[in-house]
Chain A
Amino acid sequence: MSETTSISKRSVGWMGLKRGHRAHPLEWLVEKGIFIVSLSAIVMVFLIFLFVAREALPIFLGTMNSASVQNVIPVADMGKLTPAQLQAYLGLTPKQFADMDDETKKALMEVKVEEAKEASKDRDAAVNTTSWRYMLRPFQWSGYSKPVYIWQPVSEIQKYNIVPLLIGSLKATLVALLFSVPLALGAAIYVSQLTSPRKREFLKPAIELLAGIPSVVLGFFALIVMATVLQNVFGYQSRLNAFVAGIALGLAIIPVVFSIAEDALTSVPRSYTQAALALGSSKWQAAWKIALPAAIPGVFAAVVLGFGRAIGETMIVLMASGNASIVSWNIFDSTRTMTATIAAELAETVFGGQHYRILFMLGVLLFVVTFVSNFMAELVINRLKLKLEGKQ
């Protein structure tokens, strides 16, 4: 007994990783190296989220103010302000203020006067459009006949309502899932259960070849070819809409859903299907009633991963969806997704300005949506697995 304890004490490695033998030093090094690499992958994802969330923090905390009506002090009165007042009025950090000479401060004051002259006389100019009330609820801006959800950030009065973008992302993703999940699942069932091994050898890689098409090529194809064809077939008005973008997105996520569903179906123990076939069922009955229910956790995971991929896809929706930010549940209307908005608008924004931070907030939202959907999927899959195994 004491002998085994001394051996196990000797072979207890770092963090209690037990071995049956003493570790070869190189082996130990390689193991630790791989551990650090995998840890760094997690740390990097975490750091990316931290950076994005930090840029968006002022919006979450409500500390930004986009109201353009502010008191303007004429340049001649510059001498009447105390240094602290001048620094606050010009919006400078203490270091910037200390480094600046009087000429520059005067120039900044002149710029403030010009800014005020260009400011809007509109009654909405005093509104802080970056507050949550204006980002989520409809509002009747001047010049509009009723309360509406408007995303128009480049304007005298910047309008930052994100509801059209959320609806746009959801619409395109929904169409993509409705189009691709039946196709991919059907293909997975066929390839894993119903077809001969020889056909399977070439069908599986052929479908997974779809994953090799760059998304920009799919978007381009949708923009030039698919949009015209679909418009001729269905006869709707907007040539670029959520339907076209959804079909193209579906093409992009078919390989994702197919791969994982097919793996799940193949890993159903052969004994299940063999027992069903032995009892006299046809291949299709065995597949539909035995294999598929047994593989439901994996299939569900596949659909959720497809959803995550579709909601985060940028190039396809940027090119094929028409990018019109309207609130409408009609899939034949143009739509604007969150991802396309970030891609198209980030180039223009002033670093650290309101538009910039709101786009980062959209990024945080995408992160959160994908994270929450994966998390819920994990919960559901665990429940399903327990049900399947518990009942045995």
Chain B
Amino acid sequence: MTGKIAILAALVVMALPALAGNITVKGSDTLVILAQKWAEVYMSTHPDVKIQVTGGGSGVGFAALQNQGTDIADASRPIKPKEVGDCIKAFGKRPKEYKVAVDGLSVYVNNDNPVKELDLEQLAGIFTGQIQNWKEVGGKDAPITVYSRENSSGTYEFFKEHVLKGKDFAANAQTMPGTAALLQAINNDPNGIGYGGAAYGAGARALGIKKDANAKAVEPNEETVLNQTYPIWRYLYNYVNPALDKGDIRAYLDWIRSDEGQKIVKEVGYYSLPPDLRTK
């Protein structure tokens, strides 16, 4: 009798770690490096919590949120009303949104390109295909090769909405499967121009961006992105089902937005949240 109780107790004790926190995070490829670093550091200080991080794109994260295949959805763009509707149909409530970091989208050109700054209108013209030669924007007489991201990327959507103002990208824009591939292409192409998150900047040059033709050019760095003088910036988000927003998951989300979590944001290369958005 005591033998049986002992075995039962042993089984329960062995099962306890499985009951402890197991958090799934899916979504944005822009955020995936940051999410992995966060998970690594958090798991080293909280050994009873297991966090799995996957990328795939902001859209994958939202699809998984509504299929309830993930606890937290990473996104580099705000959720769309249709996706909110699908979430409500799936689990009855709007997903809760948390801002977790700030990102500045840099516009990259080859290191040998004489052009150092552009304004937003010229950028829109280049990426929609209306401006096709570098000499129209002050460079040498060479055709512009436009590099873009795939349309599954939140970065693509953000750039389209905020810089192109909803217009289509040029049909002959070469789409690359990731920011690293995009930068590698620009490094090999003296006439290339592309965009990407600030964390990937090694090797190509980020242009200074002017709000309009008469403004001063602003380079992307921490100060200009946080005080929003750099025109192309965005928040990075985490979305969670409100029913799950408690216990281990709430603790993890609070930690991400605390000073500790935001220190890691700086190390990875993004920009940390301003103090008023952090958890105390």
| A contact set with B: CB distance below 8 Å | 92, 96, 100-101, 104, 107-108, 111-112, 114-115, 118, 120, 141, 143, 148, 150, 152-156, 159, 164, 223-224, 227-228, 237-240, 318-319, 322-326, 333-334, 336, 344-351
Contacts and interface: CB of A to CB of B under 8 A. Distances in A.
Contacts of A344: 150-152, 175, 177
Contacts of B173: 324
B86 interface: yes
Interface stretch (B42-50, B161-169, B196-204): B161-169
B230 to A, nearest CB: 25
A150 B175 contact: no
24 contacts: A96-B89, A108-B85, A108-B88, A111-B88, A111-B94, A115-B82, A150-B168, A223-B181, A224-B184, A237-B143, A239-B188, A240-B185, A319-B181, A322-B175, A323-B150, A323-B175, A323-B176, A324-B175, A334-B174, A344-B150, A347-B59, A348-B60, A350-B82, A351-B63
A372 B177 CA distance: 31
B247 to A, nearest CB: 24
A141 B57 CA distance: 28
B156 to A, nearest CB: 7
Contacts of B176: 323
Contacts of A347: 56-57, 59-60, 152
Contacts of B143: 237
B83 interface: yes
Grouping DSSP codes into helix (H, G, I), strand (E, B) and loop, the B interface class, with mixed when no group exceeds half, is mixed
Grouping DSSP codes into helix (H, G, I), strand (E, B) and loop, the A interface class, with mixed when no group exceeds half, is loop
Contacts of B82: 111, 115, 350
A349 to B, nearest CB: 7
Contact of A349 (B59, B81, B150, B171): B59
A239 B56 contact: no
A228 B187 CA distance: 11
A92 B57 CA distance: 27
A108 B80 CA distance: 13
A155 B168 contact: yes
B172 interface: yes
A57 to B, nearest CB: 20
A224 B185 CA distance: 9
B172 A333 contact: yes
A-B pairs, 4 with minimum CB distance: A348-B59, A348-B152, A154-B151, A115-B81
B189 interface: yes
A238 B174 contact: yes
Nearest to B67: A351
B145 interface: yes
B89 to A, nearest CB: 6
B23 interface: no
B185 A334 contact: no
Contacts of B140: none
A275 to B, nearest CB: 56
B59 to A, nearest CB: 3
A324 B169 CA distance: 10
B93 A153 contact: no
Interface in B258-274: none
Instruction: Pick the most buried of B57, B84, B89, B172: most chain A CB atoms within 10 A of its CB.
Output: B89
Interface of B: 56-60, 62-63, 67, 80-86, 88-89, 92-94, 143, 145, 150-153, 156-157, 160, 166-169, 171-177, 181, 184-185, 188-189
Contacts of A346: 152
Contacts of B150: 323, 344-345
Contact of A350 (B86, B145, B172): B86
Contact of B171 (A101, A224, A324): A324
Contacts of B152: 154, 344-349
B112 to A, nearest CB: 15
Nearest to B80: A118
Nearest to A349: B59
A350 B65 CA distance: 11
B243 to A, nearest CB: 13
Nearest to B173: A324
B86 A348 contact: no
A345 B151 contact: yes
Given A238-B145, A348-B58, A350-B86, A150 B171 contact: yes
A107 B94 contact: yes
A140 to B, nearest CB: 13
A351 B173 CA distance: 27
A237 B145 CA distance: 8
Contacts of A323: 150, 174-176
Given A104-B88, A345-B152, 17 more contacts: A104-B92, A107-B94, A111-B81, A111-B84, A112-B81, A112-B85, A153-B151, A154-B151, A223-B181, A238-B172, A239-B185, A239-B188, A319-B181, A324-B174, A325-B171, A348-B57, A348-B60
A326 B151 contact: no
Instruction: Pick the most buried of A111, A143, A228: most chain B CB atoms within 10 A of its CB.
Output: A111
B174 A322 contact: yes
Given A104-B88, A344-B150, A350 B83 contact: yes
A350 B267 CA distance: 33
Nearest to A327: B171
